Amino acid sequence: MGFNISLSGIGASQKDLNTTSNNIANSNTYGFKESRAEFGDVYSSSIFSNAKTTTGGGVQTSVVAQQFHEGSSIYTNNPMDLRISGSGFFAVADDKLQPQNNSLTRNGAFHLNKENQIVNSEGQYLLGYGVDQETDQVMSYESQALKVPDQFGQPRASKNIDIGVNLPAAGEAKDAQKFDFNDSDTYNKSTSVTMYDSLGQPYKMTTYYVKDAGSTPEGAEGATNSVPNRWAAFYTVTDATGEKPVSVNTTPEGDGEVATGAANAPDSSGHIGTYIEFNTDGSVKSVNNGQKIVTQSLGKGEGGAGLELNGADDTQTLNINFDEPTQYAAPFEMRRFSEDGATTGYLAKVDIDSKGSIVATYSNGENVTLGRVGMVRVPNEQGLVSKGGTQWVTSQDSGSAIWGEASQGAFGAVKSGTLEQSNIDMTQELVDLITAQRNFQANSRALEVDNQLQQTILQIR
């Protein structure tokens, strides 16, 4: 009997040594959770034995329990490296078409594969959810493999130009009808923005601002027909062949007819611009006399501006909107100058925020939320079954997986550019190693003593 008790003690000490050694070996494994060997005594009795005099039968391993407290952080320069600050797990799948067959992990070392899918070092796919671009909300908690496309969107022709500007009240007055974009003395200021045609080809659109002093009759001195607090704006678009003036069409439909009158400012070549009038307090009185500002078509068709569009839509026009322009005693200032077109974008960078939203920035200036990293928790973490590779699968003891989002409810936040180190306390592990060694030696000594007693008995004659 003593042999068996000592042998059980040696086995338990060996299990403790193995567990501690495994912890030490994985001290640098990302997302690793330490294990702890837990033991129970062996005690058996029957109706024919006296419980008061029955000794124990040794020791047995009850469970090797993993400890899921958080490890410390290590900071990297890779935005695809993720850690969970709080509770929860990432979910990964071997097959992107079968996301229901997944494993849980705290190891957030991810990267993009050749198909631009987010994977770990084992090639398993990170799972997440689709996001509505308008509301930024998860559309469904049905998990799917996450992908970061290296290109985004079809080209989008520019339709609207928004301008917010302060025109200086002290600007030098000039004759707007003598404006020539090739002569800088005929205008006060100019600003440019890149616009796009239907094929995504870029063009420079320039707006010229002239503080109007009214027309000057030939041979006369000074300005006549002066309109106080009035500016004229003229427009050009530059293609591969050079800069071309673009007239304003004030008809609501933008049918190509160019109307003239008090709302329009003709330049020296007969191209039509826009008048902007201000009140004496510097606020805007009217823009284009309240009429909608639409340019003539940009192409070479009848009534067009004659741009080389290389097969793009030659009927393209631009709606120009002045957003509360002002004329204050302050320097010229552009508060806003934007357009709504875009060319094809190529992936420039990827960011992941604390909610797990994957935001890709493309070369065309588009910032797109591509999806959200899925988070999983279980009612009983101790019931998870380890499958190696710092991964676990659910079991009856753990309960079913509960899906959700980072920073919501009981789920922790996602930190990009950070990895979770193992939760091993090396000092404690070394102490445990010494303790297990001493226990092994003590049980070996007990086995040796028991053997000596057996030898003594056998030598009795």
For residue range 276-326, list pLDDT tens digits in order: 999 999 999 999 888 889 999 999 988 889 999 999 999 999 999 999 999
Contacts 24+ apart (CB under 8 A), 134-141: 136/357, 136/369, 138/372, 138/405, 141/374, 141/403, 141/404
- Where b means 16+ CB within 10 Å and e means fewer, 218-239 reads eeeeebeeeeebbbbbbbbbeb
What pLDDT sits at residue 450?
79
Token pair, residue 140, equals 């469904």
pLDDT average, residue stretch 221-225? 45
Cβ(61)–Cβ(38) below 8 Å: yes
Higher pLDDT, 146 or 11: 146
pLDDT average, residue stretch 165-180? 92
Please, is 215 exposed, middle or buried when counting C-beta atoms within 10 Å of its C-beta (0-12, 13-18, 19+)? middle
Angstrom distance (rounded) from CA 449 to CA 2: 10
pLDDT tens-digit map of 116-162: 999 999 999 999 999 998 888 999 999 999 999 887 777 889 999 99
Cβ(405)–Cβ(138) below 8 Å: yes
What pLDDT sits at residue 256?
40
DSSP designation for 56? P
- DSSP lists the bridge partners of residue 208 as 190, 234
Angstrom distance (rounded) from CA 403 to CA 89: 10
- For the chain, give every residue range classified as CATH 2.60.98.20: 160-339
What pLDDT sits at residue 220?
40
pLDDT tens-digit map of 13-47: 899 999 999 999 999 999 999 999 988 888 776 66
pLDDT tens-digit map of 235-271: 999 999 999 999 987 554 444 444 343 346 565 567 7
Q: What is the CATH number of domain 160-339?
A: 2.60.98.20
Cβ(235)–Cβ(248) below 8 Å: yes
DSSP states along 288-354: GGG--EEEPPSSSSTT------TTS-TT---EEEE-S-B--SS--EEEEEEE--B--EEEEEEEE-T
Cβ(217)–Cβ(224) below 8 Å: yes
Tokens 């020791």 correspond to what residue?
A: 59
Token pair, residue 215, equals 């027309």
Angstrom distance (rounded) from CA 157 to CA 153: 12
Task: State the average pLDDT for the chain.
Answer: 87
Angstrom distance (rounded) from CA 89 to CA 373: 10
- DSSP lists the bridge partners of residue 357 as 372
With bands split at pLDDT 50, 70 and 90, how would you rate the model's confidence at 457?
confident
- With CA atoms as reference, report the closest residue to 5 among 51, 50, 54: 54
pLDDT average, residue stretch 419-433? 93
What pLDDT sits at residue 36?
92
What pLDDT sits at residue 48?
66
What pLDDT sits at residue 259?
39
pLDDT average, residue stretch 438-443? 88
Angstrom distance (rounded) from CA 142 to CA 128: 8
Q: How distant, in Å, are the alpha carbons of 41, 138, 237, 444 from that of 3?
A: 16, 63, 97, 10
432 HSE (CA, 13 A, CB side): 22
**Residue 437 pLDDT exceeds 60:** yes
Token pair, residue 339, equals 């357009």
Numbers of helices and strands, H then E, in the chain: 2, 32
Which range, 74-78, 211-215, 224-228, 269-273, has the best average confidence (pLDDT)?
Answer: 74-78
With bands split at pLDDT 50, 70 and 90, how would you rate the model's confidence at 72?
very high
Please, is 203 exposed, middle or buried when counting C-beta atoms within 10 Å of its C-beta (0-12, 13-18, 19+)? buried
Token pair, residue 279, equals 């009140």
pLDDT tens-digit map of 176-219: 888 999 999 999 999 999 999 999 999 999 999 999 886 444 44
Angstrom distance (rounded) from CA 404 to CA 378: 11
What pLDDT sits at residue 225?
47
- With CA atoms as reference, report the closest residue to 209 among 163, 269, 258: 163
What pLDDT sits at residue 266?
63
What pLDDT sits at residue 53?
65
DSSP designation for 331? -
Token pair, residue 313, equals 């839509």
* Alpha carbon 50 to chain centroid, angstroms: 70
What pLDDT sits at residue 239?
94
**Residue 10 pLDDT exceeds 50:** yes
What pLDDT sits at residue 46?
64
Q: Which run of H or E residues covers position 24?
A: helix 2-25
Maximum C-alpha span of the chain:
150
Share of the chain above pLDDT 70, in %: 90
Angstrom distance (rounded) from CA 182 to CA 176: 14
* Residue 129, phi then psi, degrees to nearest 5: -130, 155
Angle at 105 between CA 99 and CA 109, to 5 degrees: 100
* Residue 349, phi then psi, degrees to nearest 5: -160, 165
Segments of 4-78 assigned E as strands? 35-42, 58-66, 73-75
Torsion of Cα atoms, 291 then 294 then 300 then 302, to 10°: -30
